[in-house]
Amino acid sequence: MGSPRAIIHVDMDAFYAAVEVLDHPQWRGLPLVVGELGPRSVVSTASYEARRYGVRSAMPTLTAQRLCPQALFVPVRMARYREVSAEVFAVFGEVTPEIEGLSLDEAFLDVSRSLRLFGGGIEAIGRRLKQEIVRRTGLNASVGMAHNKLLAKLASELSKPDGFLRIRPEQVHAVLDPLPVGRLWTVGKVAESNLHRLGIRTVGELRFAEPRRLQQACGNQAAHWQRLARGEDDRPVQPDAGEKSISAETTFVTDLTTLDQALSWLARLAERVGERVRAQQLKGRTITLKVRKPPFETHTRQLSLGEPTDATRELLDAGRTLLQRWWAAEKDPRLRLLGIGISQFAAEAQSGLFAPSPGQDRLADRINQRFGQGSLVRGVVLKSRRGGSENS
């Protein structure tokens, strides 16, 4: 049997409401409901201040108004939420390509193959996710960590808001046993009532229940529920293959105004992406350049390679071509953000006679893993350490 998986569940705290407060700071601390008042309208999200009055998602807004008359009701701005969600998922893509998005504000990440790359284990990656999300978006995320999806999601739920919790294998029963049985995945209200009639109110009581009696009362689901009660869950993280990518990007405090500066930063980002691709044992065919010029005008450019690659040199060469083309086409080129990514991953192909050797890249990876990121870099990268400020 292989090593336990390393699964992270990230759930943004009161996401829609938090975005509204971010854009309207004067609303901070108020009971805020995202959803317009009307006979057919429902609550999309409520701030934690509104939740204290019993306001919940999917509740009719008129009911929410009765519970909290002083609440501020604001319309849903889905385009804005998608924009912020894209920033959050970009952070996910920088630690692993194994991302299963559940909604705009929630995802599972399998970071099993990223542990050595980032060092410090699953908690180091979880901490990085929280820090990067708040740095780039100003929003808090709750992060749950465990060896399977069931426990990772439970960890984020138990630690909300602004949560950070890991459930280790030896802690499973201590955490699960006291919980109400309804907290288990797939145990809905009807199932919970059936279990209550059997005298089973906690997860621990479900775990120790006599299997035959449980099956007679609850049918085929009984064995499944008892596996969950033991903390067992073998569901894999299922990424959308069409969206799988590895990328890195940087937002600058001071806009870049020269191509030389931009190329230097591009080399730094390409090294970071190349190292992650090799750590995941992947090879990609499509290179994407992302640029943003002030104030918030974002462009992407793509280039497809003849063969999949994990070589930093090929990644950087393609990125340079795209950046130079964009720069030459602009009347007044200035960069607020620069990013590069690789996607369209394929099975590892046999190297051609003139394909770049991965030996130097892998040696650099080992040196940087041992002595810290940036210990060994390309000469052009050194220019990015002068006069530039990195936000991400």
b/e 10-47 (16+ beta carbons within 10 angstroms → b): bbbbbbbbbbbbeeeeebeebbbbbbeeeeebbbbbbb
Q: Is 23 annotated as a binding residue?
A: no
106 as an active site residue: the answer is: yes
Contacts of 12 (CB under 8 A, 6+ apart): 18, 88, 105, 106, 133, 139, 140, 141, 142
Of the candidates 57, 9, 1, 8, the one whose C-alpha atom is nearest the C-alpha of residue 33 is 57
Q: Measured on CA atoms in the order 140, 131, 4, 284, is the torsion positive or negative? A: positive
Q: Is 105 annotated as a binding residue?
A: yes
CA distance 144 to 138: 20
Active-site entry in 106, 249, 275, 314: 106
Q: Which residue numbers belong to the known binding site? A: 11, 105
Looking at the annotation, which residues are catalytic? 106
Residues of the binding site for Mg(2+): 11, 105
